[in-house]
Structure 1
Amino acid sequence: MTEASTFTASDGETIAYYIDDFTDPWRDAPVMFLLHSAMGNSQRFYSWVPGLARHFRLIRMDTRGHGGSSVPAPSVPLTMDRMVDDVEELMGRLGIEKAHLTANSAGGYVAQNLAIRSPGKVQSLVVVGSTPGLSPDALQWLPRIKAEGLTPFLRDTIHMRFDLASTDPGMVEWFLEQTAENDEDFVTRFIGYWATQEWSGELHRIACPTLVILPGAETVGTAASYDAMKERIPDAKLLAYEHMPHNIADMMADRCVADILAFHREKFSYPKP
């Protein structure tokens, strides 16, 4: 009921993906893609899968350069179109014409741009802690990562991501161990690229029902960017988790899943309670 596989993207990179399907075998279940954050991989959704896979055929994809996907050579440019292409090519490979997109942080950057570029392929959009572009302030991280290393930098700034008073210390350590598995040079390129991108002027092109779950004390993006999403996405609902820093998808997974399911019941009348 969970299937792991890979495919070769049109530029030759290997993209890993996982299908979780615990829906009723006799029903034509809706498809939901899960796109993870920067420095993570599809395992970061381990706590989301049980609640969602009963109702949706889940497709978890490792973003290029992350998890089981190949790391592009330094000479291969990172572009928005290429990362959106990866999702669309996987949809084509699996024979999926239209899907729900649910994404965390940088995964939401790709999801937003897929909804902008190919609105006919996106039934709904849910983004968690994901603004229309990473704040240019993130460029200040790069010299520190280079000088200190990725894990020391993340450990020193972990309060920007987790509410340490309410988060299991084991989760924090697991997060640090998982992010340490990444190729540090690629992570630097990845962060540097997103910190130069901004598409708030294109948000009006997102035509599907959209849920934006945001950390009330956002520390990675700019909180004002969420206002632009509310104002410019035609059918957008914003839901704030007050006083929380960036990593609400990890810290508050059960609440995220409950709110995602409630959103789908409101907009699509499924899944049934």
Structure 2
Amino acid sequence: MTEGLSFTASDGLRIAYWVDDFTDPWTAPPTLVLLHSAMGNSRRFYSWIPGLARHFRVVRMDLRGHGASEVPKPDVPLSMERFVRDVEELMDTVGARQAHLVGNSAGGYLAQRLAITRPERVLGLAVIGSTPGLSPSALEWLPLIEKEGLTPFLARTIAMRFDVERTDPGMIRWFLQQTGENDPAYIARFIGYMATQEWSAELPRIKAPTLVIYPGGETVGSANSYDTMGERIPDVTMVEYPHMPHNIADMMADRCVTDILAFLTARFGYPKAMP
């Protein structure tokens, strides 16, 4: 009921993904694609799977260069078009002409871009802590990461991401372990590239019903970007988690799942209540 698989993208890179399907065997559930954050991997959704995979065929991908997916060679330029194409090719691989897309932080960038460029493939869109592009202020992290190392930098600045007083220290240690397993040079390239991307002017092109869950105390970029999303996405539901820093998908996983299910039920009529 959980399968670890991979496919070869059209440029030859191997992409890892997992299928979690705990739906009733006699049904044909819709597909829901989960896209993780920068420096993360699909294991970061471990606590999301029980609530979602009972109602959807959940497909979670390790973004290229992250987790179990292959790291692009240093001389291969990064492009948003390639990242988004990976998502579309994943959908083709699992036989999903359309899917609901749920993206956390940088994963939400890819979900937004697919909803903008290929709206016919996106049924519903939910993004968590994900603005229309990474703030250029993130470029200031790069020399610090190079000087200190990725894990020490994240440990020193952990309050940017977690409410330390109310978060299990074990979760923070696990987060640091997970991020530390990535290739630091690639992560620096990824952050540097994403900090050059911005598409707020294109938000009106998103046609799918959209849920934006955002931290009221956003610490990665400007919280004003969420106001822009509320103003420009045509069919949008905005949900604030007051006072929280960036990593609400980790700290408040159960609430995120509850809000996503409530949104999909209200807009699409499923998942149906279980007997």
Normalised by the size of structure 2, how large is the TM-score?
Answer: 0.99
Give the corresponding residue for 1:237: 237
Structure 1 segments of 4+ aligned residues over 4 angstroms from their partners = none
Answer yes or no: is 1:17 the counterpart of 2:47: no
Q: Is the 1:102–1:126 contact (alpha carbons within 8 Å) kept by the matching residues of 2?
A: yes
Q: May I ask how many residue pairs the two structures share in their alignment?
A: 273
Q: Which residue in 1 is equivalent to 2:39?
A: 39
SS at match of 2:166: coil
Q: Which residue of 2 aligns with 1:258?
A: 258
**Which aligned pairs between 1:145-224 and structure 2 lie closer than 5 A?**
145-224=145-224
Q: Offset at 1:221?
A: 2.3
Unaligned runs of 5+ in 2: none
CA apart distance, 1:133: 0.4
SS at match of 1:165: helix
Q: Does 1:86 align with 2:93?
A: no
* CA distances 1:97-126 after superposition (whole Å, capped 9, x unpaired): 000000100000000000000000000000
Report the TM-score when normalising by structure 1: 0.99
- Structure 1, unaligned stretches of length 5 or more? none
Percent of aligned positions with the same letter in both sequences? 68
Task: Write the deviation string for residues 8-61 of structure 1: whole angstroms up to 9, x where unpaired.
Answer: 101111000000000011111010000000000000000000000000000000
- Residue 81 of structure 2 aligns to a residue whose secondary structure is helix
Distance 1:96 1:271 in 2: 18
User: Which AA in structure 1 matches 2:136?
Assistant: P
The question of whether the paired residues in 2 share the 8 Å contact of 1:40 and 1:67 is answered with: yes
Which SS does the other structure have where 2:89 is aligned?
A: helix
Equivalents in 1 of 2:93, 2:165: separation in Å?
Answer: 44
The C-alpha deviation readout for 1:209-261, integer Å capped at 9, x for no partner, is 00000000000021011111111110001100000000000000000000000
Task: Report SS of the residue matched to 1:12.
Answer: coil
Counterpart-to-counterpart distance in 2, 1:197 and 1:254? 30
Q: Is contact 1:130–1:221 with CA below 8 Å preserved after alignment?
A: no
- Give the aligned residue type for 2:200: S
State whether structure 2 residue 127 is matched by structure 1 residue 127: yes
Give the Å deviation of 1:90: 1.2
SS at match of 2:165: coil
> Counterpart of 1:62 in structure 2: which amino acid?
D
Separation (CA, whole Å) in 1 of partners of 2:266 and 2:91: 26
In the alignment, the residues of structure 2 paired with residue 83 and residue 183 of structure 1 have an alpha-carbon distance, to the nearest angstrom, of 17
Q: CA deviation at 1:92?
A: 1.2
